[in-house]
Chains A and B, each alone.
Chain A
Amino acid sequence: MDVPETEFAPWNDADEKPLIRFRNVTKRFGEFVAIDDLSLDIYEQEFFALLGPSGCGKTTMMRMLAGFENPSEGDIELAGQNIVPVPPNKRAVNMMFQSYALFPHLSVWDNIAFGLRRDRLPKAQVQARVEEMLKLTRLERFATRKPHQISGGQRQRVALARSLAKAPKLLLLDEPLGALDKKLRQETQFELMDIQEKTGTTFVIVTHDQEEAMTVASRVAVMDEGRLIQVSTPADLYEWPDNVYVADFIGDVNLIKGRTTASGDERYRIDWIDGQPPLNGVSKTVFSDGQTCHLAIRPEKITISTDKPVDADNAVQGKVLDIAYLGNLSTYHVELASGTVIKAQTSNTRRISRRSFTWEDPVWLSWTATAGVMLAQ
């Protein structure tokens, strides 16, 4: 799992030519600006996720790649060629639709063969390719069925097989797992990654599910209101968000607002706005004295204890307000004297009856100076 992450990083290689290039793309629908002067490079063999709330423009980006929408301004390049004037049926791009869009009057076999037949390939070649796709998606037994005769998970695989059959340079997946239940969705995420690796196709996936984006993607672009907020690997996105929006959007986070004072090399003292003892933080970005800063700390990086920890960079006291028991984890909501609530997460390595804290217990929260990320905005 972690092998490709260290080896596969074409976006860090200046010599690498991107497969897709959005150049200052703007898309307007009447008055509404769906995409706002956006530039983005996506590299070959990437599994790239466009992540954002509904209406953020991620689907418009995908539809522009497929050719169903054209940008109002700017160019989109595929392998160095501007594809804006190319109609959808002439692009080496295939799309897997959110609704799957399987042809209800055709069998599974004919659905998969549909694109190949449009290329006027010889019969034997069509046959071979369809069989290959059926095998890849484990659908051999369902070849003669109609779409309404198979399950949701199988339909999803037919849609995938159909869009992969023409061996596109780029495969677009529009919320591909949205219609599946949670368990099946998780299985299918790994299946998708497997298939992406086997075929070596570049995948661009649109999703509003951050967990899904983090699981499958090599890089994730977080979007909001037609703009890219941050484009990073899932790990960087989680550990090093660029701003409060991303920190808050991805996973759970505590945001503490304060003012900075330099206290050493890349070290800062952060005075709380609401008058708690100052905190210590580390940041490569330079903050001036008195600048407003948001300290973002993930709940699982905060330790909870009954006694005041010695040698901790940061320690605050409060009392347990709420406990959210998730089975493997418990999240404690701790209220400080000022009324601020901080979330701390621990793994439940012991049985629930043995856990150390309960409601109203006075507790200490502590974290290291490097645990949090200091964000200017």
Chain B
Amino acid sequence: MRKFALIAVPYLWLLALFLVPFLIVLKISLSDIALAIPPYVPKWDWATGFGAFFSQLDFENYIFLTEDDLYWKAYLSSFKIAAISTMFTLLIGYPIAYGMARSPEEWRPTLMMLIILPFWTSFLIRVYAWMGILSQEGLLNQFLLWTGIIAAPLTILNTNTAVYIGIVYTYLPFMILPIYAALDRMDGSLIEAAEDLGCSRLMAFWLVTIPLSKNGIIAGSFLVFIPALGEFVIPSLLGGSGTLMIGKVLWEEFFSNRDWPVASAVAVILLLLLIIPIVLFQRNQQKQAEAEQ
């Protein structure tokens, strides 16, 4: 009984904070837009009961999503931006994690602290700081002009490049930490053994270090990819009119168009799309746990 109570806590938590809100959003996505508060019909009415309520729900909004190419283009573009950002995060994060794992023992807590330190400042402020760095008169352009590398300021802010920079910057710790954890666990004599058996340094890295940090790479990639796919703040602050991301579309649908049903449909589809990588991620974690037993 006590065991049951213990398990019930997280399930109740999930039920109250995930499943119930999801069902509300799902219901709105099946409703019709209306000039009212809240701006949709039908509303639950005790008098008419279930039959009348459900008969008014339909998939009209979902059909609409397939008719306007804005939506699938936004999904596709989000996917592309998330995938490319994840790749860059990996390319930058792996060497940092590797360097941390190879650094002297007494430095590691400090290095770890430096990775986590940015979280002490609000995420929004950090993104605003990037606006200051990347704008036409920003620090980066001033520096490049001063060194004479460029003659005219570059346009970085309000382009996809700025979005990539923002996402890579924001999610880098999520890539570094799981890779670092995997590399830190690795026995250093494995590399020596590989060299002893005829591997060059590079070969030993490719044949031993990479496979043994695979789980860290997969975990880090999902931790970056999943939130990046639905990212809203970074594209709306750093991106331009050409930056198409589903998070932004969703926001505009809700607040500019006040079309809650269509916005809800977009959100439901986004969630369904995210479930695929989340399930893959879970399976990876599970396999890892099994391998360690």
Contact = CB atoms under 8 A, between A and B. Distances in A.
Q: Do A and B bind each other?
A: yes
Interface of A: 66-68, 87-89, 93-95, 97-99, 101, 103-105, 114-115, 118-119, 148, 162-163, 166
A97 B189 contact: yes
B190 interface: yes
B104 to A, nearest CB: 14
Contact of B196 (A95, A103, A104, A148): A95
The 6 A-B pairs at the shortest CB distance, nearest first, are namely: A118-B198, A115-B197, A101-B193, A101-B189, A88-B195, A105-B211
Interface residues of chain B: helix, strand, loop or mixed (majority): helix
B201 to A, nearest CB: 8
Contact of B192 (A88, A104, A105, A115): A88
B212 A162 contact: no
Contact of B197 (A68, A98, A105, A118): A118
A93 B193 CA distance: 12
A87 B187 CA distance: 21
Contacts of A67: 195-196
A167 to B, nearest CB: 13
Contacts of B207: 114
A119 B200 CA distance: 12
A93 B197 CA distance: 9
Nearest to A63: B192
Nearest to A88: B195
B194 interface: yes
Please classify how large the interface on chain B is, using the bins under 10, 10 to 19, 20 to 34, 35 or more.
10 to 19
B33 interface: no
Given A88-B192, A97-B189, A103-B190, A114 B211 contact: no
Interface in B90-146: none
B192 A89 contact: no
Nearest to B212: A105
Contacts of A115: 197-198
A94 B194 contact: no
A68 B198 contact: no
A105 B187 CA distance: 13
6 contacts: A66-B196, A88-B192, A101-B187, A114-B197, A148-B291, A162-B197
B167 to A, nearest CB: 31
Contacts, number: 57
Interface of B: 187, 189-190, 192-200, 203, 207-208, 211-212, 214, 291
A67 B199 CA distance: 13
B182 to A, nearest CB: 12
B208 A103 contact: yes
Nearest to A97: B189
A314 B8 CA distance: 84
A114 B204 CA distance: 11
B192 A101 contact: yes
B192 A97 contact: yes
A62 to B, nearest CB: 11
Given A101-B187, A104-B212, A68 B199 contact: no
A94 B197 contact: yes
Best-buried of B187, B198, B214 by chain A (most CB within 10 Å): B198
Best-buried of A68, A94, A105 by chain B (most CB within 10 Å): A105
Contact of A95 (B193, B203, B211): B193
B194 A114 contact: yes
Contacts of B193: 95, 97, 101, 103
Nearest to B293: A148
Given A114-B194, A162-B197, 15 more contacts: A66-B196, A67-B196, A68-B195, A89-B196, A95-B192, A97-B192, A99-B187, A99-B189, A101-B187, A101-B192, A114-B197, A118-B197, A148-B291, A163-B196, A166-B198
A291 to B, nearest CB: 49
B199 A94 contact: no
A115 B204 CA distance: 11
B268 to A, nearest CB: 39
A166 B193 CA distance: 13
Contacts of A97: 189, 192-193
